Amino acid sequence: LASPKDYAHRIYLRDGIYAEITLRFYRKTFQSWEWSYPDYRSPTYVAIFNRIRKIYRNQLENANTP
């Protein structure tokens, strides 16, 4: 999640934009932090992000296959 606001848990990217760590991948699934927005905590969003991660991993594996 990108934001122009700086806080201790945000990572500076460039041009005054910070990345907020909204979720973490732990024990085979995404998990929220106490500061995560409620929608990102929902099972629906977690399922979507898990699916996107699976698609991305498959793309990486296929890209490295001759």
Q: In the chain, where are the structural domains located? A: 23-66
Q: Which of 18, 44, 12, 15 is nearest to 30 (CA)?
A: 44
Which residue from 15, 27, 16 is spatially nearest to 5, judged by alpha carbons?
16
Indicate yes or no: pTM above 0.85.
Answer: no
Distance from first CA to last CA of the chain, Å, rounded? 34
Residue-wise pLDDT tens digits, 13-62: 999 999 998 999 999 999 999 989 999 999 999 999 999 999 999 999 99
The confidence score (pLDDT) of residue 66 equals: 67
Handedness of CA 42, 25, 4, 10 (dihedral sign): positive
Give the pLDDT of residue 15. 97
Q: Which residues pair with 32 in a beta bridge?
A: 23
* Residue written as token pair 């929902």: 42
